[in-house]
């Protein structure tokens, strides 16, 4: 694996690879670094499915609000490089902010509707920054496939919408959320949690598991499912709820809160964002409703969803 920190070095390395293997698939795993097993699973899958895998490590200032954690976001490039190489990456692209934005960007990618709920509502401008940096990475790497974790399911939907709308020639590959043995979704921000916060954060996966058990109840509605999940989360004294919502997925359209779930023929998402101390965690669960037989989707069904291009 080679590490490059400039666009010119990245382009030169990719040109060498394409000259050696013109028809070989190139995979891209965009990250903000401080890599963990969730990122490792994306890199391994990309390496298994592509001849050549690029991992980007870039903490993108455009997707952070003025009171968010850009400055203190965890960074450890040496550790990231070791993990990326161990899991099959061929290039680690780790540019500086100056390299990616040599001057104030006057052009941004704005995606509407799918960005107006969940994190898009509570973090204004966040997905404008995501769309802008991801489009830059797509243009630079020109990968055949790009791999994203479903822990941030809204981000996957936003990126897929951008790719569809702009005819960007890359397949978006959504990958299963990777969890700790006790159920907590892996996140670079978990490092912020103290022991008590870490223990109480398990309420998120418990709320999702409980919701999965309640789907088959004939009178269950979207509003009731969200309310019950929020009620369970509030049993953790340190939990401060940002949102708990049930929406259609990937459109992220609102539902009639009083409509019975058994009457809805659609893929839905139960999405959570909850703060523990100063740490904001997100998690979600997808489930498919069809013919009155709701069930929680497994990873194979997520990957086979017609909403995504493979």
Q: Which residues are catalytic?
A: 39
The answer to whether the beta carbons of residues 244 and 284 sit under 8 Å apart is: no
For residue 176, which of 40, 51, 279 has the smallest C-alpha distance?
Answer: 40
Cβ contacts of 228 within 8 Å, gap of 6 or more: 210, 211, 214
Task: Judge whether 187 is annotated as a binding position.
Answer: yes
Does residue 35 have a known ligand-binding role? yes
Alpha helices in 102-258 (DSSP H): 118-122, 126-141, 153-166, 195-200, 203-214, 222-233
92 is in an annotated binding site: no
Tally the residues of the chain. Answer: 310
184 is annotated as contributing to ligand binding = no
Per the annotation, does 212 bind a ligand? no
188 assigned to a ligand binding site: yes
292 known member of a binding site = no
Residue 39 labeled ligand binder: yes
Query: How would you classify residue 143: left for phi > 0, otherwise alpha for psi between -120 and 50, otherwise beta?
Result: beta
> Would you say 186 is a known binding-site residue?
yes
- Residue 305 annotated as part of some ligand binding site: no
Q: Tokens for 162?
A: 């951008």
Find out whether 190 and 164 touch, Cβ atoms under 8 Å.
no
Q: Which residues contact 9 (CB under 8 A, 6 or more apart)?
A: none
Residue 103 counted as an annotated binding residue: no
243 is in an annotated binding site: no
The answer to whether 71 is a known ligand-binding residue is no
- Taking the C-alpha atoms of residue 129 and residue 110, their distance in angstroms, rounded to an integer, is 8
How far apart are alpha carbons 45 and 310 in whole angstroms?
13
| Backbone torsions φ then ψ of 241, nearest 5 degrees | -75, 130
Cα torsion 152, 31, 157, 307: sign: negative
Tell me whether residue 178 is annotated as binding.
yes
Cβ contact 13:2 at 8 Å: yes
Q: Please state the separation of Cα 120 from the chain's center in Å.
A: 13
Is there a binding annotation on residue 36? yes
Q: Summarize the annotated binding site for (R)-pantoate as residue ranges.
A: 63, 155
Which residues fall in the annotated binding site for beta-alanine?
63
Binding-site residues, in ranges, read 32-39, 63, 149-152, 155, 178, 186-189
Binding-site members for ATP are 32-39, 149-152, 178, 186-189
């Amino acid at each position: 694996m080679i590490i490059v920190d400039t666009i010119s070095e990245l382009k030169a390395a990719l040109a060498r690879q394409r000259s050696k293997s013109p028809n070989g698939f190139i995979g891209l795993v965009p990250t903000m670094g401080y890599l963990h097993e969730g990122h490792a699973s994306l890199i391994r899958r990309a390496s298994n499915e592509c001849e050549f895998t690029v991992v980007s490590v870039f903490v993108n200032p455009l997707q952070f609000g003025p009171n968010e954690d850009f400055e203190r976001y965890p960074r450890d490039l040496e550790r990231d490089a070791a993990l990326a190489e161990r899991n099959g990456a061929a290039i680690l692209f780790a540019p500086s902010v100056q390299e990616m934005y040599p001057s104030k960007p006057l052009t941004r990618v704005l995606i509407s509707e799918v960005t107006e709920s969940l994190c898009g509502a509570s973090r204004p401008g966040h997905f404008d920054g995501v769309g802008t940096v991801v489009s830059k990475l797509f243009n630079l790497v020109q990968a055949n496939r790009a791999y994203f974790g479903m822990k941030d399911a809204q981000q996957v939907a936003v990126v897929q919408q951008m790719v569809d709308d702009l005819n960007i020639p890359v397949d978006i590959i959504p990958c299963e959320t990777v969890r700790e043995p006790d159920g907590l979704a892996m996140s670079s921000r978990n490092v912020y949690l103290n022991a008590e916060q870490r223990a109480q954060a398990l309420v998120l996966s418990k709320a999702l598991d409980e919701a999965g058990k309640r789907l088959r109840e004939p009178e269950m509605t979207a509003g009731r499912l969200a309310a019950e999940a929020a009620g369970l989360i509030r049993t953790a004294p340190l939990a401060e709820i940002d949102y708990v919502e049930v929406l259609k997925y990937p459109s992220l359209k609102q539902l009639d809160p009083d409509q019975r779930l058994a009457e809805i023929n659609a893929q839905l998402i139960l999405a959570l964002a909850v703060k523990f101390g100063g740490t904001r965690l997100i998690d979600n669960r997808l489930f498919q409703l069809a013919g009155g037989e709701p069930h929680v989707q497994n990873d194979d069904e997520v990957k086979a969803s017609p909403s995504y291009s493979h």
